[in-house]
Amino acid sequence: MIGSPEKLLKEALDELQRASARDEVLQIKAKYLGRKGEIASLLKELGNLTGDGKREFGESVNRAKARIEEEVEGLLSAILDKEKAEKLEEERLDVTLPGRRLQLGKRHPVTRIMDEVEDIFSGLGFDIAEGPEVELDYYNFEALNLPKDHPARDMQDTFYISEEVLLRTHTSAVQPRVMEARKPPLRIIAPGTVYRRDSDITHTPMFHQVEGFMVDRNVTFSNLKGILTLFLHRLFGEKTGIRFRPSFFPFTEPSAEVDIRCVICSGTGCRVCKGSGWLEILGAGMIHPEVFKSVKYDAEEFTGFAFGLGIERIAMLKFGIDDLRLFFENDIRFLRQF
Ligand code: FA5
């Protein structure tokens, strides 16, 4: 029995009419037009025919095939158009919606204090200098009258890269670097990051200092007191309590530490000032003749003072923050307040 192309065409068109999804159409296409599909098996039957019958049968199979192809292509392209239209509708932009607000960044409180300190000292005629954070033991300690076996090295335990190279423990390391390169008179501040093996509510392993020093003929301790008092009054206001306390640093003689009235408790005593009512913010003193010797300055001709302040301590006092570690946690809720 020879199959009928007309009947096959009718069946195919019926199936296509019921199909709505692309997969269904493709399945029907494979069923009729595929290499092993219905049309292919009809064509195989050509071999059993001869003469006019063969020609007519061949023509009608080809007509059926062309018609199915046309229908399939038409359907597929209609489905594609529909999908495109649906996608466009789905992704429609409402250009009348209000835009998203851009979040404005703020300067970190440590940067703000750093800038403020730099502004005050620039106004007093100080230049800004910088030194490396990965520093030689020589500049961090030895040139500052802290030889290898000096017990005061314990106060600034640090992170060593090698026997001779370390993360600097204070910005005082910039002093001998600048003095080696320049001759007095000098009025310098050196802001920067420093590192120590420290961690509690008023100490972090990484923090910031600003070093300051002045070297000239006839620089005295009263110059040091005058400049620091003026600076602290500018920073904290004229009424802020300040006290100078005798202290010890191997690179200054005499030495002092400067405290400020604790602003967290107004001096009544709290966990930040450890009950004392005062918070230490800087170390200072007259530059030791041994330091001048290591940079080949004549200690008979020149004198100088130096000081080093802790920026986070100042930020704590200015903004009333009771835990120094908050500065480095990068909690956006904390930072937004400044
Ligand atoms: C020094 O670092 C000396 N180089 C300062 C100095 C310079 C003295 C020039 C004389 C002449 P000190 O270790 O005390 O000193 O530190 C100075 C300040 O840094 C302190 O007053 C304190 O405010 C701050 N500081 C010290 N350790 C930490 C720490 N771990 N975290 C945060 N701040 C600190």
Do 43 and 71 have their domain in common? yes
Q: How many domains does the chain have?
A: 2
pLDDT in tens, 176-234: 999 999 999 999 999 999 999 888 777 889 999 999 999 999 999 999 999 999 999 99
Backbone angles phi, psi at 279, to 5 degrees: -130, 130
Do 271 and 127 have their domain in common? yes
- pLDDT tier at 317, thresholds 50, 70, 90: confident
DSSP assignment string, 64-115 = HHHHHHHHHHHHHHHHHHHHHHHHHHHT---TTSPPPPPPPP---HHHHHHH
Residue 163 CA to ligand 1 center (angstroms) comes to 23
Do 273 and 235 have their domain in common? yes
Rounded CA separation 190/204 (Å): 20
pLDDT of residue 1: 60
Whether 45 maps to a domain, the answer reads yes
Do 274 and 162 have their domain in common? yes
Whether 99 maps to a domain, the answer reads no
Do 153 and 285 have their domain in common? yes
Q: In this structure, which residue's CA is closest to atom 29 in ligand 1?
A: 203
pLDDT in tens, 219-274: 999 999 999 999 999 998 888 899 999 999 999 999 999 999 887 788 898 887 88
Its domain, for residue 35, covers 5-90
- Looking up tokens 């070093």 gives 211
Do 306 and 211 have their domain in common? yes
Do 70 and 114 have their domain in common? no
Q: Which amino acid makes up residue 303? A: T
Do 35 and 131 have their domain in common? no
| Ligand 1 pocket, CB under 6 A | 170, 172, 196, 198, 203-204, 207, 209, 211, 249, 252, 280-285, 306-308, 310, 312-313, 324
Do 310 and 193 have their domain in common? yes
